[in-house]
Amino acid sequence: MSLSADRTDFGAAQRARALADLMVLDTPDEQAFDDLVFVAAKACDVPIALITLLDTDRQWFKAKYGLEVCETEIEHSVCRIEIDQGDLLEIVDLTNDARTKRNPLVTGVRHFRAYAGAPLVLRSGAIVGRLCVIDTVPRPEGLSEMEKAMLQALARLASENLELRRIAKASERLTALQTALVEIGETIRSSHDTAEMASATAAIVGRTLSADRAGFGSVNEDVDTIDVETDWTAPGAVSIAGRHRLNEYGNLREPLVVGDPLVVWDALTDDRTLHNLESAMRVGVRSLVDMPVRDRGKTIAVFFVHSAHPRPWPAEEISFLRSAADRLEAGVARHRTEQQQLIVNGEIAHRLKNMLTMVQAIASQTLRSVTDREAVYAFERRLMALSAAHDALHQMSWTQADLQAVAATVIDAIGFSDRVDMSGPAVALGPRAALSFSLIVHELLTNACKYGALTSDDGHVSLSWDVEVGQDDDLLRVTWRERGGPPVVPPTHRGFGSKLINIGLVGTGGVDVRYEPAGLTADLHASMRHLVQG
Amino acid sequence: MVKPVVLVVEDEPLLRLFATDMIEEAGFEVLQAPNASAALMTLEERLDVRVVFTDVNMPGGIDGIMLAICIRRRWPTIQIIITSGRPWPDEAVVPADIVFFAKPYRQDRVLDTVRKMAA
């Protein structure tokens, strides 16, 4: 007795899980199943044929011929009789069998009289229901051997169809989860705000899993409270933003502390939650997954998904949630690091500027007695050029500077932006090249203001550059061309400015200054590989 | 002839000295304050200050931008120049017609502005 009760319990549990895996309950009619019941009815010459799936509290018909209802209470099910024996069940006169003679389907208007059902056995061995045929008149002679064989063959086809359907659905499901993960990755990558990352991820997860609520909350050191900033909710579900004590919802803490996901299929039957249902029911949580987010061996946050209905969370959904939570955490951590880096960079820039201002102050005090004020101003302006290069470097986190930005800042600092045309592609300079380039532009510009094109009102300068693609390395060519100035006279001696220019972009020359009659032209070139070095 | 009065607010002594010298040599009387509260005290005593030249980051809780807002409210005729090693904060709500110079600044440009404001 107890043995068979055990087997029944095992069968019921196995059936519940298998049915959940099939994802078939309450789905619309499908032709393949409708065809099977049609053929079964005709093969056995009966008015009614059904594909019956035995849920815990009802029997639900995936396909029906000759009957208009789609489910009945499980107590009225004939199909469930001897279901776990896995054999064809035939009752030739339902009014004359102790198990069925008081069944309302028999005693009532439906007038069921004869029954035969073949089990639907999945590849796993789980028995999920029957393909059955029903007559409204007694069939004392029963089905013929041929009819029974056909019924069993059709039941095998129905089972196989359920399997194939499950595999197709699972693969669609996996694809949907995969697509959602890609979407989450892209959303996080393009976001610059951690709250936005969390709410966008929650929304994608919630929609993908057809959940009622999803969100991200940070947990305290002892993992007994969770702070939810914002959460995604399906229409009709309430937000749970705010602080929550985990023990209000039951004994949920242990798995989260060690970093395991907390998975509750049904809060009403789960040992960990069934004694603390009030809080969960108030916010409509019947089923949930809490996925811990870890940092250095500690749970620092929880990504949660809630459902208002009992729900078996399959393994692929759990690993989907784990990946989503990991991606979110990585995005948040990356953002935090970037923010800290920005602050540090800002601080470095600030100190550097203050230091340059100090140098300016010291020089100004030290050189008070110098009568050649032009020399003092020249010093100050070179300092400005260096400062401008640092501005351009700071904009790109000190690792590189945009060539045009360096030139523009230097030219702007001296005040000739309207007289210098710039053209060329975007080129990133390393820190050293940026500093050299700022000083060279400064010297060329100072020279143009003192002796060259910018001494006359219609003189102008064109600063152009291009990158010549080579086999091993690319070559940057920069041309400074002055036009519209007074006739050019080559200088009689080379000052410091001229020496600075001749050092070149990377300290190894590559400079050609020509005093052409129409205006000074300076060509500078350097290998891109050297230019981007630190 | 009375020299126009400029108040220099800067916490770094060397930079304060530098700015003071620069503005004095251009023909102004210069008062100095090492922080914003000292600057406000000076402004309460000396009603002849025409221009305030202030740093942004200073100890003592009130920074140069808040000082500028304060001055605008209480002494709307005083002209203000702000200088900082940090870039000008775009989003900051600052009174109109304040002139900003990034550090290090060009002395001739600062002096041009001071002269224009004091005129």
Average pLDDT for A287-294: 90
| pLDDT tier, B95 (very low <50, low <70, confident <90, very high otherwise) | low
**pLDDT tens for each residue of B1-10:** 789 999 999 9
Q: Cα separation of B85 and B62, whole Å?
A: 17
Q: What pLDDT, on the 0 to 100 scale, is given for residue A83?
A: 93
For the record, the structure tokens of B43 come out as 């402004």
Q: Domain spanning B5-118: which superfamily?
A: Response regulator (3.40.50.2300)
The whole-number pLDDT of residue A8 equals: 64
How many residues can be counted in chain A? 534
Rounded CA-CA distance A172/A448 in Å is 70
Residue A349 forms contact with B (CB below 8 Å): yes
Q: A384 and chain B: CB distance < 8 Å anywhere?
A: yes
Q: How far apart are CA A132 and CA A503, in angstroms?
A: 95
Inter-chain residue contact A365 with B18, CB threshold 8 Å = yes
Report d(CA A40, CA A59) in Å as an integer: 19
Residue A4 has pLDDT above 60, yes or no: no
Structure tokens belonging to residue A341: 């880096």
**CA–CA dist A33, A63 (Å, integer):** 6
CATH class, domain A367-531, is alpha beta
Instruction: State the pLDDT at residue B89.
Output: 66
Range A485-491 contact pairs with CB under 8 angstroms and sequence separation of 24 or more: A485/A448, A485/A452, A485/A453, A485/A454, A485/A455, A485/A456, A485/A459, A485/A519, A486/A455, A486/A456, A487/A517, A488/A452, A488/A515, A488/A516, A488/A517, A488/A518, A488/A519, A488/A520, A489/A451, A489/A515, A490/A515, A491/A451
Q: What is the pLDDT at residue B23?
A: 95
Nearest CB among A358, A377, A413 relative to B14 is that of: A358
**Tokens in use for A177?**
């989860």
pLDDT, residue A20, reads 86
- Chain B residues whose beta carbon lies within 8 Å of the beta carbon of residue A377: 108
From residue A315, alpha-carbon distances to A29, A174, A318 in Å are: 28, 11, 5
**For A285-299, A519-533, B80-94, which range has the lowest pLDDT when averaged over its residues?**
B80-94
Which tokens go with A428?
A: 């990133």
Judged by a CB distance cut-off of 8 A, whether residue A10 touches chain B is no
Taking only the tens place, the pLDDT of each residue in A114-129 is: 999 999 999 999 999 9
pLDDT band at B60 (very low <50, low <70, confident <90, very high): confident
Question: Rounded to 5 degrees, what are φ and ψ at A325?
Answer: -65, -40
Looking at the predicted structure, is the pLDDT value of residue A291 above 90?
yes
pLDDT band (50, 70, 90) for residue A99: very high
Label residue A151 by pLDDT band (50, 70, 90): very high
Question: Whole-structure pTM over 0.80, yes or no?
Answer: no
Decide if domain A2-169 falls under CATH 1.10.10.10: no
pLDDT at site A307:
93
- Locate the chain A residue with the closest alpha carbon to B13: A358
Residue among A354, A365, A413 whose CB faces B103 most closely: A354
Phi, psi dihedral angles at A36 (to 5 degrees): -65, -45
In A297-444, DSSP assigns E strands to 298-307, 401-402, 420-423, 428-429
pLDDT given at position B74: 93
Peptide bond into B104 cis (omega under 30): yes
**Interval A176-190: pLDDT, tens:** 999 999 999 999 988
The helix or strand, by DSSP H or E, that contains position B9, with its residue range, turns out to be: strand B5-9
DSSP string over A428-473: EE-HHHHHHHHHHHHHHHHHHHHTSGGGSTT-EEEEEEEEE--SS-
Question: What ipTM score was computed for the predicted complex, to two decimals?
Answer: 0.80
Whole-number Å distance between alpha carbons of A229 and A223: 17
Nearby residues of B74 by Cβ (< 8 Å), 6 or more positions away: B43
- Residue A297's pLDDT band, with cuts at 50, 70 and 90, is confident
Closest C-alpha among B86, B59, B70 to residue A346: B86
Q: What is the pLDDT of residue A458?
A: 87
- A280 or A96, which is more confident: A96
Instruction: Find chain A residues with C-beta within 8 A of B108's C-beta.
Output: 377
Lookup result for tokens 């409270």:
A225
Contact A479, A534 (CB under 8 A): no
Residue with tokens 């959303």, as numbered in its chain: A187
Cβ distance of A364 and B18 shorter than 8 Å = yes
Q: Options 1.10.20.140, 3.30.450.40, 3.30.300.30, 3.40.50.300; which CATH number does A191-334 get?
A: 3.30.450.40
The values of phi and psi at residue A128, to 5°, are -105, -10
Least confident of A5-14, A243-252, A486-495: A5-14
Query: What gap in Å lies between CA A256 and CA A288, rounded to an integer?
Result: 13
* CB contact at 8 A, A340 and A348: no
Mean predicted confidence (pLDDT) in B56-77: 89
Over the Cα atoms of chain A, what is R_g?
Answer: 40
What residue in B sits closest to A347 (Cα-Cα)? B86
Residue B40 has pLDDT above 60, yes or no: yes
Residue A3: the pLDDT is 44
Nearest to A33 by CA among A53, A6, A7: A53
Q: Where in chain A is the domain with CATH 3.30.450.40?
A: 2-169, 191-334
For residues A433-459, give the mean pLDDT. 89
Q: List the single best residue of A350, A351, A357 to mutate versus B (max B Cβ within 10 A).
A: A357
Provide the 3-class DSSP secondary structure of residue A323: helix
